[in-house]
Amino acid sequence: MPTFGSFALLLALALSGYTLVAGAIALRQLATGSRGRVSPERLAETARRAGIGSFVATTGAAFALVWAALNNDFSVAYILHHSNRALPGPYKFAALWSGQEGSLLLWAWLLSIYGFVLRLRHKVDVKLTAYASTILAGIQVFFLLLLNFAATPFSLASGPVAQDGFGLNPLLQYPEMVIHPPMLYLGYVGFAVPFAFALGALMMRYPGEKWIHITRRWTMVTWLFLTCGIFLGAHWAYSVLGWGGYWGWDPVENASLMPWLTGTAFLHSVMMQEKRGMMKSWNVWLIFSTFLLAIFGTLLTRSGLVSSVHAFAQSSIGTWFWTFLVIVLSVCLFTFILQRDHLKADNKIESLVSRESSFLFNNLVLLAACFTVLWGTLFPVLSEYIQGNKVTVSAPFYNRVAVPIGLFLLFLTGIGPLLAWRSSSFKSIRKNFVLPSIAGLVAAIVVIACGVHPWEIFTTSSQGSFYSFIAFTLAAVVITAIGAEFLRGAGVIARHTGQNLFASIIQLTRRNTRRYGGYIVHFGVVIIFIGIAGSAFNQSKEEELGFKQSVNIGPYRLECQSYSQDSNANYDTEYALLDVYRGGNKVTQLAPEKRFYTASQQPSTIVANHSTLAWDLYVIYAGKNPDTGQPIIKVFLNPLVAWIWIGVGIVVLGTGVALVPNMTAALAASRNRATALAPSAEAVAARGGD
């Protein structure tokens, strides 16, 4: 199998190389009108087919590595270092992305899948797809060069074949790790497609904005994957790392957030180009930046440039990534300079108080957030270069700098939809803002009455109360604004059709899925903000608990029923059984664990969590007191965490709605007629008519 895998990788490289070279020659011939022995159309077609062939070859290589993992082929060095016999099957499959070489193979494989779909759908626009396919092939060649010459996944282990492997990192032995990395990679890799279309459209001076229509679904699906990947990672960190939080501002987390922020900015500003022919250069650079940041994030985690909890081992492939990054940036810059006159805007913003300017400010804030994350991630390197010593830039920095920017973004989320295109009159602003403002005021009073005291920022070192007060207030404003938008539109439909309000809301959404799907996404984001705001009120306690001893936190009492240890082929475990009481009634039993994995000789925390809509009771087995032999239990009460995951679900729903095509006006009208006719038919039946 390793021989097959190596051959498949070489074949994939050859085919991708052909797609790149033949595609480039064909496009050059088409652009200049010159002709060789083979017509450019036929040459482009062979390039397309070679691209499809490279997908088959890359799939073969990925299959070979998974096969080797599932069959305990420890002659392959990668499998030896990332798997072992006792490892459960799904985690053996996850070994594909648990190390440097395997995850690069996953990159290449996912890219080949995207390329495969793109090349199959080439009839959407043959020439533009040929450009995009050639650019994708260029990216694919880079990853396949890496896999063939710098980070080979099928290298054989030296010496006799080992009986067992060193095992998978215990932190990765968690169900979410089977889906989190592929989701994240689908997001990272997926941005290569809109990037390729944007660069291709610029190279060929593509007329109009059709390339945006073609790539809209690609971009949204990619964005959705990245969103899910990021939040699955957050949930994994919350469930496995056992420090009570879900986001640690680690460089690897930051690496995933940066392209998400620029990608989000792109999804917003591209609407201005579609509708008003504005911000063309801006949009092109947004998608260029998003792809470059995805590559840069990969570089960050693999070059050893910054230290991180979950970065891959330092290796020489950083040089490869730097080179690739410089090449991509140079190509983008060169193409932009050459074709910049093609990106002249059709219109300009006419008023500061308009939907366009709200999009622009939204973009600015998203980019400021992205810059802040990039700045914080790279500042240690800059500091070492200038001051001669490294500094740490961690959560306290981001909490002070990035959180206010995030709240400003939340504010813009609320006011943007209330502004009209082109220009908003004072009257319309007043009309649209009254209700959300009242809701914000009421929320502020309620939040203060519930014990959130924003003025604590002046008396304590914590900004948590102040930020959460602002977040709750703005959340009320934004939710009211979104609700008002739905009700206004649905009210009109209800008046015209006689449908009830709920049916009208459904019809309204189906008539313009993009707009109302977007509002649902915004609603989900607000819910996520509410969940995050709860972290200002986290409580924690750490106590040693003997048999029948208990600890109180918030409304809960945790009583230790027993503590013991166990073992299986994969790990040894120590755990405690804790009965949880609330108001004297037993609510549940929790069993926090500490595992020690035999093959890798590494410990891991298994958190026990009792999650409700109000808060999570999050319990960690912190270890054993060596003097008494009793477990040390750390308990957290984390308010509103569940709302973060609910919010993500709403974001997924909203994106799904936005991806559905609009119901045409004609179909809507015919349905309305049918609805209007239905009661009369029933009435006929009731009268006993035929």
Partner 1 sequence: MFRFPRLGRLFAIAIVSALTMGSASTAVRYNDLGHKMMCVCGCNEILIECNHLGCPDSDRMLGELRASIAGGSGDDAILTAFQDKYGPTVLAAPMLTKFNIVAWIVPPAMLILGIAGTVVLVRRWRLRAAASPATPPAPHFPAMRERIRRETEL
Which lies closer to partner 1 via its Cβ, residue 474 or residue 476? 474
368 binds partner 1 (CB under 8 A): yes
Among positions 39-58, residues that touch partner 1 (CB under 8 A) are: none
Other Cβ atoms closer than 10 A to 315: 15
Q: Which is nearer to partner 1, 239 or 383 (CB)?
A: 383
Instruction: Give, as ranges, the residues between 574 and 603 that touch partner 1 (CB under 8 A).
Output: 594, 596, 603
Q: Are strands 571-582 and 593-597 parallel, antiparallel or unpaired?
A: antiparallel
Q: In angstroms, give the least distance from the CB of 473 to partner 1.
A: 19
- Under rule CB under 8 A, residue 180 binds partner 1: no
Residue 275 makes contact with partner 1 by CB under 8 A: yes
Does residue number 123 form part of the binding site for partner 1 (CB under 8 A)? no
95/637 with CB nearer partner 1: 637
* Comparison of 666 and 686: residue with beta carbon closer to partner 1: 666
Stretch that binds partner 1, among 179-187, 322-330, 386-394, 500-508 (CB under 8 A): 386-394
Question: In this structure, are residues 65 and 153 in contact, taking their beta carbons and an 8 Å threshold?
Answer: yes
Which residues, 395 to 414, sit near partner 1 by CB under 8 A? Answer: 395-397, 400-402, 404-405
CA angle 580, 584, 586 (to 5 degrees): 35
Minimum gap (Å) between residue 18 Cβ and partner 1 = 42
Residue closer to partner 1 (CB basis): 331 or 364:
364
Check if the beta carbon of residue 103 is closer than 8 Å to that of residue 188. no
Instruction: Determine, following the binding rule CB under 8 A, whether residue 361 of this chain makes contact with partner 1.
Output: yes
When binding is defined by CB under 8 A, the residue of 17, 248, 414, 534 that contacts partner 1 is 248
The site map against partner 1 for 319-358 (x = CB under 8 A) is -----------------------------xxxxx--x-x-
Selected from 2, 17, 233, 376, the binder of partner 1 by CB under 8 A is 376
Minimum gap (Å) between residue 360 Cβ and partner 1: 6
Nearer to partner 1, 83 or 605 (CB): 605
210 binds partner 1 (CB under 8 A): no
Q: How many CA atoms lie within 13 A of 356 on its CB side?
A: 18
List of E strands, 568-665:
571-582, 585-590, 593-597, 602-606, 608-611, 615-624, 631-639
| Residue 375 in contact with partner 1, rule: CB under 8 A | yes
Q: Is 239 in the site for partner 1 (CB under 8 A)?
A: no
User: Of 314, 319, 323, 462, which one interacts with partner 1 (CB under 8 A)?
Assistant: 462
CB 467 within 8 A of CB 530: no
Tell me the DSSP string of 545-584. --TT-EEEETTEEEEEEEEEEEE-SSEEEEEEEEEEEETT
Alpha carbons 563 and 556: distance in angstroms, whole number: 20
Sign, CA torsion 265/268/269/273: positive
**Residue 250 binds to partner 1 (criterion: CB under 8 A):** yes
Cβ neighbours of residue 526 under 8 Å, at least 6 residues apart?
Answer: 410, 413, 475, 478, 479, 482, 647
The one segment of 5-13, 67-75, 195-203, 416-424 that binds partner 1 by CB under 8 A: 416-424
Say how many C-beta atoms besides its own lie within 10 A of residue 130's C-beta. 26
Which helix (H) or strand (E) segment holds residue 544: the answer is strand 539-544
Longest dimension (CA), the chain: 93
Determine if 124 is a binding residue for partner 1 (CB under 8 A): no
